[in-house]
Amino acid sequence: MTTNVLVTNDDGIDAPGLHALARACSDAGGHVYIVAPHQNQSAVGASITLRRELHWAQQPDFPVAGVEAWHVTGTPADCVMVGLRQIVKHRINLVVSGINHGANVGNDILASGTVGGALHGHFRSITSIAFSRIMDDAGGEDAVVDWSTAELVTRAMIGKVLDGTVKDGQFLNVNIPAVPAEEIAGTLVTRMGRRGFIDLEQVRGDSAVAERTQQTLHTNPHTPPGTDIWALANNYVSVTPLHSNLTEHTAIDPLSDLLNRAAGD
């Protein structure tokens, strides 16, 4: 049976990480449909477009042979919805998003367009995986990236979906270290760590008028073993099972008791 794979990302249709993911899916045996943003959509989370029209078109000269590719003037979530409802006429068995240039770990995932795209596949009970590769310390976003390890790991993970090892309907967040394949320590199933938070700070320019904002990351110094952050720091591939239900179940009864007592006062 043919496995139809819908591929998106948040770095845009021209991103090398998307091309690596497309190759990995194709090499693993999937029939690949690329539906990705026309431009970079990093950090848009799972947002969708409401108050303007979406447009999509087939992407000419996509650099991976044997796949069908479209670009969309929207977010990764828009791409998944357009792909499932408008573009692909066959049943999609797997939604994958990535490979993001930069890790998506801990509470970062709530703002991640990469994870947000996969989440919209999960909403529809489709097995969905977000893939990210940690950003090299040197060069940042402008660094020349070797995607070979990430592509190898991704191909193996997709193979486990195609052969039935990964249960249908799973929602996984996979993060890959930026090291050669032989330096990968292994694969760990992890829980979300706590990354920290980002502040926007106002920076005054050379004149009193010129001002801008910059992002400052306040990191959490505690990275317990078993978390996605710890796994990456120790060169493990991190696989975190996710769910869209954010309810804090342990707080329901205590909060109910507290509010009921307050109402009786």
62-104 tens-digit pLDDT: 999 999 999 999 999 999 999 999 999 999 999 999 999 999 9
The string of pLDDT tens digits covering residues 157-172 is 999 999 999 989 999 9
Whole-number pLDDT of residue 234 = 95
Whole-number pLDDT of residue 259 = 93
Strand locations in 21-114 (E): 31-37, 56-58, 68-72, 94-101
d(CA 94, CA 166): 11
Classify domain 4-193+222-264 at the CATH class level.
alpha beta
- pTM for the structure as a whole: 0.89
Least confident among 54-68, 156-170, 195-209: 195-209
Domain boundaries, the chain: 4-193+222-264
Whole-number pLDDT of residue 217 = 47
